[in-house]
Structure 1
Amino acid sequence: MQLRISWPAGRLTATLDDTPTARALARELPLVSSARTWGEEVYFDTGVSVPRETDARQVVAPGTVAFWTDGDALALPYGPTPISHGDECRLASPCNVLGRVDGDPRRLASVRDGDPVRVELTDG
């Protein structure tokens, strides 16, 4: 499953694994939300509420597509957050891992707090 995520200054695609959370998110697409930034992470509300999966992780690789169950939000880290140790991507709490951003996740650096973000399924 592939997503297109777009905001005023750019867009990217992400490839999702077949997980219960990814399927729940796909059922609600397309969606438009308001971006929030936290260090080098972009996150935004999805309106989707799912339980934390058993393999949820707090420290992930840059470009991981994660779902923050505590905030019903998609979380897209591309570098350190305020609670990271060194250069790691440490999320606010354990998140369900959905997949990976295609290409360079640092493109997310152009997202500004409050930007409108659109998430949709692609045919790719």
Structure 2
Amino acid sequence: MQIRLSWPAGHITATLDETPTSKALAGVLPITSTAHTWGEEVYFETPVSPALEADAQQVVEPGTVAFWTEGDALALPYGPTPISRGDECRLAGPCNVLGRLDGDPRVLATVRSGDPVRVELA
């Protein structure tokens, strides 16, 4: 499944794997939320509240589409966060991994805290 994320300064698509969380997210799209930034990560709340999946991860590759269950939020890391060790992408806690951004995840650097972010099926 592909989704499209857009904000005032840009957009990117992502390819999601078939997971319980990605299916729950797809069921509520399209959504618009407010972006927050945390180091080199963009995250924003969604209307879904999935459980933490067995294969949840805290350290992921740049461009991973993750879901932070504690905040009901999509988390999109493109570089180090304030708790990273070195250049790793360390999320606030274990997150469900949904898939990967298509293309260069550094385009997320153009997202500003407070920007509206729209997520829809591509």
- Normalising to structure 2: TM-score of the pair? 1.00
The one-character-per-residue Cα deviations of 1:50-99 (angstroms, maximum 9, x if unpaired) are 00000000000000000000000000000000000000000000000000
Q: Does 1:2 align with 2:5?
A: no
Q: Does 1:78 align with 2:65?
A: no
Q: 1:47: how far off?
A: 1.3
Look up the match of 2:113: 113
Q: Number of residue pairs matched?
A: 122
SS of aligned partner of 1:92: strand
Structure 1: 5+ residue runs without aligned partners? none
Moved over 2 A (4+): none
Question: CA separation in 2, counterparts of 1:90 and 1:48?
Answer: 23
Structure 2: 5+ residue runs without aligned partners? none
SS of aligned partner of 1:70: helix
After superposition, the CA RMSD in angstroms is 0.2
Look up the match of 1:97: 97
Look up the match of 2:40: 40
